[in-house]
Amino acid sequence: MVKKPLKIPLHVGIIMDGNGRWAKKHLLPRVMGHREGVKTVKRIVEHAANMGIEYLSLFAFSTENWFRPKEEVSTLMGLLDDYLDSEMKNIVEKGISLRVSGDISKLREATKSKLIDIIEASKDNRRMVLNLALNYGGRDELSRAASNLARDFASGKIAESELELLFKNYLYNPDIPDIDLLIRTSGEIRLSNFMLWRLAYSELYFTKVLWPDFSEKDFDEAIADYNRRIRRFGKTDEQILNK
């Protein structure tokens, strides 16, 4: 029997959850969980690119994460700086294009400068788009988009018949397609305000593996599970299978 080739999702999103619980499990400070989580990011980004994933969106820091203890927020921002410092050359040389979804105006000036530099240096890369959701919230993105769309509609720039069609153009990085597969680690089963518009028809995969322990094999298992799904988009099984 000939084994069918894997269907590789165009766009994978990951809610990276469980750093704090990993640290607690190992009787370590929370910061150590976040540091281990960064190591996992590096491994999974490379693995996804090797697999042929074209877009990988990682939920790195939400609009709600500002409510965490100040020391932890400072640690997370420091780890982001360290990641950008260590990975800028690798991202560019390995053909990956960096994007950011979210309001980066609240980030430190040095961090914003690094992000802008890498985005510019990697803008022509085509191997994979790495989209970091930073100071990102799904409702915030939708409300901003709706407000800007309403402004342009009121000024006559767009017609009423175009509203839904053009709504996506007001999101962060409108050229990035909808998410085909969403992975969430650590056993939590919720979306946590992540890319609500792009998740409309996503396949959802939840694993109890904590993010620092999430391996290439775990990623492969998520892809294998995705291959067992029938994506109907409102149609029947027969319509999909008989195409």
* Residues designated as active site: 17, 65
Q: Per the structure block, which two tokens stand in for 156?
A: 């006559």
Q: How far apart are CA 214 and CA 150, in angstroms?
A: 42
SS3 state at 85: helix
Handedness of CA 35, 37, 38, 39 (dihedral sign): positive
Handedness of CA 200, 18, 133, 128 (dihedral sign): negative
Helix H segments across the chain? Answer: 19-25, 30-51, 70-93, 109-121, 138-154, 163-167, 216-227, 237-241
In 10 A of CB 239, how many CB atoms?
Answer: 11
Q: How far apart are CA 8 and CA 112, in angstroms?
A: 32
The residues near 115 (Cβ < 8 Å, ≥ 6 apart) are 84, 98, 100, 104, 107, 134
Which residues share a beta bridge with 57? 13, 131
- Cβ-contact 123, 97 below 8 angstroms: yes
The residues near 167 (Cβ < 8 Å, ≥ 6 apart) are 145, 146, 149, 197
